DNA sequence: CATGAATGAGAGTTCATTCAT
DNA sequence: GATGAATGAACTCTCATTCAT
């Protein structure tokens, strides 16, 4: 019953995911997950040996799905600037949301688990986002919407600002206005200079 | 013997500080601190009721000292650009250091303890850094070293980039080259445009 | 395995009961019960959360069994006076016994836990005893063995005397002669007046 | 400074007394008393080695004062029945009071500390009360107010009823009406029989 | 495969008691 | 005498992890 087994594994991961979203990483115990899943204590150990293992799997799923979702939400005939604006808006929404996905849990997790190398979840996520933005900027430059000498660096800069906003939001809290200000600033950097 | 008592309190806080630096916040137990301090279990409770309380005090000390240290390390006859470069260099050093101070612990702590309002440690730290940078930029603009239309926003942007670099460093790791690239980028934003 | 679980719960309660009998209520710790039961620290918490909870359950069991036991021990063809004498004799036995059941523990417990209202263990125990005695007196009056104008009050009075003897026995100690004297006195109150 | 020392000892005992009145015996720690007295932790040990020792001293004081107080509160020209009624009324008041003196603490204490023999506090208290009541009854019989064949036993009976009411009040709670009923019943036993 | 009872390690916390000052 | 800091024992409670069924 490798099928049923895979089914259950997926069920556990999805349930665990919502637990991590709510409580972060360090606050989640095997017991928490067992209870959220309504399975037996021993049952969980049949599939996973620790919260760490579970979390890594959750992230793996996350990555798979992320690629899908991203592409779908882009309107067919949008210009690069529009798409970038859309992307930033989406980031802003999640930034300020009360349910910030797995951000906090990931940070907590990777504070302690530096492993991963090239496959590091956060690294891959960051790099692929940089790449997307870079492409958008390049397209924007081509179409004359943007002015930018080094799209790669500009993209990277934007992502670091977003990362800074994210951590600020998760720790000290941040106002919508402040987020808008920062986003506007980076957008102006692409447009205003002629 | 309020004197001796204060002495010991300070000793505990300093010892605890290094424990937090090494293990973050959530991994530190009262027992850890007790053992690091070489005092008795009950002895610690004479001074502090929880790791949270201790950590808050550590931050308070940190803040007091931070103000002092900062001013002293600035060379007398340096131009704004020099000072800013110095500041960023210092940030870079801490960013990449194996002993990243209390950054990680603070993040972990404030993931869960949102209290603080205006007096929020991270907020104050961030805001005062923004202010310093803003002043430097304004001075730089005046002296012709910099070009910048809105020093406040530029300063804030720099700080968010730094914050992004910080969290990146603490989680996925980051290369010196990458940090240099980002710092160079923001500096160019101030200089290159004329 | 609700069966085995119930079995163990009962085992714990019975063991705990003897611990309470020996040490009262306040002197009993979860650790004491754990050790008496020869189970693990955490094992006890699987069934009960506190000594208070355990004690309340012990009392509940006590009550269930009390009803059974009482009826059985009455000889078939005994007159009211005989039965009352028997009852008092039984009370006396327990009063003076080195193993005074849960009396002491109950007192200690209810000094602090006044909850219960109508279902208060001691109240129910007292009231039902009063009722039994009242019935006996009324039967005795009918059969001419007793003289009594208000059986209810006489019964209540007897029980308060018994209660007084009980606490006296548990605190300052009391001689058998003294108990006999008091019992005789209340019996005479029912008989002698004609 | 045996004088100052005695002074302080007395101060501690009086303070401790009120602590015992409020919290019973077992719930009182040396720390509680230290704090109530506003003295140093070590300071208390200079005078007493344990709560038990303190409590015994408190009881000794209690006994000394009890004798004084009792006599004073009796009206000059009252008949035996009046005085007995007065005594019972006073008992009732204390019975129902939210601040039941040291009753609870004493019970708790003597559950565990059976020592005392002839000098047992509760025994002496009980016996002297019995004696007083006996004298009153005898006086009442003489004056024709009471009818009683054995004043000693009647007095003892009354005291046991009071003791029963006391413990009932402290554990399950008791209504004023119930107390009145019992008191009336024992008084009628002295009067009604002709 | 699945269960959930059981174990035991470990963290938190409170106090009685001592002792240097 | 008096202080109160310091110690360490004792207790409570929670989980990760195992294992018989």
B151-185 per-position pLDDT tens digit = 999 999 999 999 999 999 999 999 999 999 999 99
Q: Is residue B46 helix, strand or coil?
A: coil
**Please, which chains are in contact with C (at least 3 CB pairs closer than 8 A)?**
D
Distance from CA of B153 to the nearest CA of A (A): 7
pLDDT of residue C43: 96
CA distance A133 to A125: 12
For chain D, the structural domain boundaries read: 1-57, 73-194
**How many other C-beta atoms can be found within 10 angstroms of the C-beta atom of residue D1?**
7
CA distance B90 to B82: 12
Chain B residues touching residue A111 (CB < 8 angstroms): 24, 104, 107-108, 170-171
C176: alpha, beta or left? (left if phi > 0; alpha if psi -120 to 50) = alpha
D133-178 per-position pLDDT tens digit = 999 999 999 999 999 999 999 999 999 999 999 999 999 999 999 9
F chain positions with any atom within 7 Å of a protein CB: 1-20
Q: Among all strands, which nt has the closest C1' to D43 (CA)?
A: F2
C102-119 per-position pLDDT tens digit = 999 999 999 999 876 778
Q: Could you tell me how many CB contacts below 8 A there are between chain C and chain D?
A: 116
pLDDT at A194 over 50: no
Mean pLDDT taken over chain A: 90
The answer to whether the CB atoms of C160 and D182 lie below 8 A apart is yes
Q: How far is the CA of B16 from the C1' of E8 (A)?
A: 29
pLDDT of residue D1: 55
pLDDT of residue B68: 64
For residue C148, the Cα-to-chain-centroid distance in whole angstroms is: 26
How would you class C22 by CB atoms within 10 Å of its CB: exposed for 0-12, middle for 13-18, buried for 19 or more? middle
Mean pLDDT taken over chain C: 91
pLDDT of residue A158: 96
pLDDT of residue D69: 64
- CA distance readout (Å), B93 to A21, B4, D102: 33, 36, 69
> Is A52 in the B-facing interface, judged by CB distances under 8 Å?
no
Task: Give me the helix-helix angle, A151-171 and A121-143, nearest 10°.
Answer: 130
Q: Among all strands, which nt has the closest C1' to C50 (CA)?
A: F12
Secondary-structure breakdown of chain B: helix, strand, coil percentages, each rounded to the nearest 5:
75, 0, 25
pTM for the whole thing?
Answer: 0.90
Q: What percent of chain D has pLDDT over 90?
A: 77
State chain D's maximal CA–CA distance in angstroms.
65
User: Is domain D1-57 annotated with CATH 1.10.10.60?
Assistant: yes
The answer to whether the CB atoms of C24 and D110 lie below 8 A apart is no
pLDDT of residue B70: 62
pLDDT at D92 over 50: yes
Structure tokens belonging to residue A130: 């940089």
Give ∠ CA D31-D37-D43 in degrees, rounded to 5: 70
Choose among A108, A122, A168: nearest Cβ to B172: A122
Choose among A108, A156, A181: nearest Cβ to B108: A108
Taking a contact as any Cβ pair under 8 Å apart, which residues of chain C between 110 and 129 contact chain D? 110-112, 114, 116, 120, 122-123, 126
CA distance B96 to B170: 9
CA distance C9 to C17: 12
The answer to whether the CB atoms of A189 and B189 lie below 8 A apart is yes
The answer to whether the CB atoms of C186 and D157 lie below 8 A apart is yes
CA distance D59 to A123: 75
pLDDT of residue B194: 46
Chain C residues touching residue D116 (CB < 8 angstroms): 172
Out of A54-63, B109-118, C170-179, pick the least confident.
B109-118
- Banded model confidence at residue D72, pLDDT cuts 50, 70, 90: low
pLDDT at A13 over 90: yes
Rounded average pLDDT over A14-29: 96
B50-76 per-position pLDDT tens digit = 999 999 999 999 988 876 666 666 666
pLDDT of residue A73: 62
B8-53 per-position pLDDT tens digit = 999 999 999 999 999 999 999 999 999 999 999 999 999 999 999 9
pLDDT at C148 over 60: yes
CATH class of residue range A73-194: mainly alpha
Choose among A106, A171, A193: nearest Cβ to B110: A171
pLDDT at C192 over 70: no
pLDDT of residue C194: 47
Q: Is residue B2 helix, strand or coil?
A: helix
D8-53 per-position pLDDT tens digit = 999 999 999 999 999 999 999 999 999 999 999 999 999 999 999 9
Out of A59-63, B25-29, B50-54, D70-74, pick the least confident.
D70-74
CA distance C194 to C188: 11
Alpha helices in chain C (DSSP H): 2-23, 30-37, 41-45, 51-72, 80-96, 103-112, 121-143, 151-171, 176-191
Q: Which of D155, D160, D168, D24 is nearest to D96 (CA)?
A: D168
Chain D residues touching residue C171 (CB < 8 angstroms): 106-107, 110-111, 122
pLDDT at A17 over 90: yes
Distance from CA of B161 to the nearest CA of A (A): 5
CA distance C120 to C126: 10
pLDDT of residue B134: 94
pLDDT at D87 over 60: yes
More confident residue, D71 or B93: B93
pLDDT at D114 over 80: yes
B138-154 per-position pLDDT tens digit = 999 999 999 998 999 99
Chain A residues touching residue B126 (CB < 8 angstroms): 168, 172
B29 sits within 7 Å of strand F by its CB: no
């Amino acid at each position: 019953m490798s099928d049923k087994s895979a089914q259950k594994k997926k069920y556990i991961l999805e349930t665990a995911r919502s637990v991590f979203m709510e409580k972060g990483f360090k606050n989640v115990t095997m017991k928490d997950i067992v209870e959220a899943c309504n399975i037996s204590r021993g049952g969980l150990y049949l599939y996973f040996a620790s919260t760490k293992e579970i979390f890594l799997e959750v992230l793996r799923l996350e990555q798979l799905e992320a690629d899908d979702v991203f592409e779908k939400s882009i309107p067919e005939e949008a210009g690069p600037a529009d798409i970038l604006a859309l992307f930033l808006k989406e980031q802003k929404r999640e930034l300020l949301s009360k349910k910030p996905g797995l951000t906090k849990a990931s940070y907590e997790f990777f504070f302690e688990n530096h492993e991963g190398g090239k496959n590091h979840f956060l690294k891959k996520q960051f790099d692929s986002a940089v790449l997307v933005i870079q492409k958008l900027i390049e397209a924007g430059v081509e179409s004359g919407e943007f002015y930018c000498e080094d799209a790669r660096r500009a993209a990277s800069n934007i992502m670091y600002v977003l990362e800074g906003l994210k951590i600020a939001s998760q720790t000290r809290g941040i106002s919508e206005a402040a987020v808008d200000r920062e986003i506007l600033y980076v957008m102006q950097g692409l447009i205003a200079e002629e």
